[in-house]
Structure 1
Amino acid sequence: MASSIKGQACIAGIFEHPTRRADGISTAQLHADVALGALADAGLSLSDVDGYFCGADAPGLGGFSMAEYLGLTGLRYMDTTETGGSSYLLHVSHAARAIMTGQCNVALITMADRPLAAGAGPVLAGVDMSQVPEREFASPVPVPPVFGYAMVARRHMHEFGTTAEQLAWVKVAASHHAQHNPHAKLREVLSLEDVMASPVVAAPLRRADCCVVTDGGGALVLTRPEIARSLKRPIVKIAGAGEAMKHSSGGHVDPLHSAGVFSAAKAFEEAGVTARDIRYASLYDSFTITVIMQLEDIGFCEKGQGGRFAADGNLIAGQGRLPVNTDGGGLCSNHPGNKGGMTKMLEAVRQCRGEAHPAVQVPNHDLVLAHGTGGLMSSQHMAGTVILEAA
């Protein structure tokens, strides 16, 4: 039996919910909407699905409840892995391996949540952070995510001379892309001066350095290659995938490297390619520093050079060396349920299919990469990397 998933599974269908605020729509209905949308995109139906994947955003008993709600009667495989925003990249990897080993033929992955409509704010659905083991020692100290990412950014600046202007270029690039996305929450094109004029939230991060909070969701359908070939849709093969964990090591924290160092290396090894072969990347952008760290850790540039790499429009499609997040990303378009891994996969598939907006579609899209970080880059997090190949 093959040990590598390279070419053993294909993404046959995708769908992104158009809403950014889901008043009057339940979480279960959001999951159903995106599931039906992705299956319709693939030319399949619920009766074809025999593998189901979801995270803690799925309501009730998670996978059990959603399987019944959707009417998935032919399931042979279920995976409810939860690693925050990176969950859905891990689901792609796990689904491909389940298909490769014959445990399912058609895998459905759904993600949906409604923190805005529910008034929940920047929290992760189904995740009770008050119960993490170290919380009893740190409960008097507020720890919103921006604090941890500000620490990473400040340390990066101290060690490598990264500037606030270099961080700002990540947001500028996102805004240039978002203007072409009719569903993006923020569509205004920003200049470097606009971003620098944004108020400081947690130094050195400004409000414009932070992702949006939205409702919505998305779904993916993976199939066996022979099924994908029968569906008359552009074939997108899973070329390689990797996952890796990094935590605070009992207080011995290294804020200058993420788990992406290891997940990306695994994905590249499995795909038999390098970062130099990638012409488009969907990179997790919870904050602008997140993108700069991933540029380095995945291997698009040397450690410490991420700020310089991102500067002067180098992440903008049509003018930069590496277009990143051509849908506007989490910084401008969509960050449903405060977990952006699903949207990273969706835009990577659009690019690999050649179906991104014409203004941002990269001409050479045979190999694209999606990467997610779930948790806090400053402490505990799980990274997932997926490399896609157009047939």
Structure 2
Amino acid sequence: MTVGPTGRSEATRQGPCVVIAGGGTAGHIEPALALADAVMRLRPDARVVALGTERGLEKTIVPARGYPLEMIPPVPMPRKPNVDLLKLPLKVRAAVKTTRDVLDRVGADVVVGFGGYVALPAYLAARGRLPIVVHDSNAKVGLANKVGARFATRVAVATPDSGLPNAEVVGIPLRESIINLNRAALRAQAREYFGLAPDAPTLLVFGGSQGARTINTAVSGAARALADAGIGVLHAHGPKNTLAVQQVPGAPAYVAVPYLERMDLAYAAADAALCRCGAMTVAEVSAVGLPAVYVPLPIGNGEQALNAQPVVAAGGALLVPDDELTPQKVAELVIPMLTDPARLAGMSATAQGTGHREAADVLARMVLDAIDKGLS
């Protein structure tokens, strides 16, 4: 096989090959796949190949979305000095070699990294050989993207003040099903799908894919107060958790489910949300115009509160520390919000105005531009 100067096979010159590296969590994978979809909209002759590891969610998510997945060794960064840190150079070297082989074999024209275990070896394998585009969704940038940004062709971020050099604020790429969601048009179908009251103000509750104990306890504890106020609830409690809520006769239903397969219908069914504030969650909830009560994850580096800060400051959401979320606090915040249609409408418009609905297409154009300049 003849390989051109960019590492791309001469036999595959019919369209650009974009390699996306964003494995591990949904917060890395979903923006990468939204970018993939946007590339294919703009360049139907393109090919998109994803990099992943055996331990990441991409193992199931990426093939289900119709994109080929190439496995590479993960390179987790130890948080503390230990024996794993001593082994890191050998792990990085092996992962970079494997990744470089993949890039040559698929005829890559550009590497687009979104952070996480997969991104670092991808950046190092592409360095000096291919254009690199970095995207970071979080208010606090991770180590992999800090490294990749040093030799990237373009750097895109979700929020200002990321600290990355030459960063361009584009927002977070989102799926078309979220960007184009018409909540009002789907409302009746969504309420029927979940078994919710057709006309009651409705709260959507979720704590990430695994649920959140604090949120589960606080909202279920407020069930009677919410019912008495005429508020329905759709509560995703997590597949490993259980939730028993006594229904109040004559009140709107409190529907508890382990997991939400149809987030589009969940958003359409709701008038407001109470949830964590990971970067993807804030981007999606804002894009569909849902007022929110955000409850940051109490561990980590505080990035969740920072993710929510722009929409909270604008007036499209409220923020409650995890240790302050009680049944009483839920009732105190949620009932006045959901029983005031004018306030809901104002918060909805504000939330939607803080987002970057065009982020996927903007990033896709940056990626294709990087390819054009790399091939020139």
Question: Relative contact order (C-alpha < 8 Å, sep 6+): which is higher?
Answer: 1
Structure of greater Rg: 2
Whether the TM-score (by the shorter chain) exceeds 0.5 is no
TM-score (norm 1): 0.29
- The TM-score, its normalising length taken from structure 2, stands at 0.30
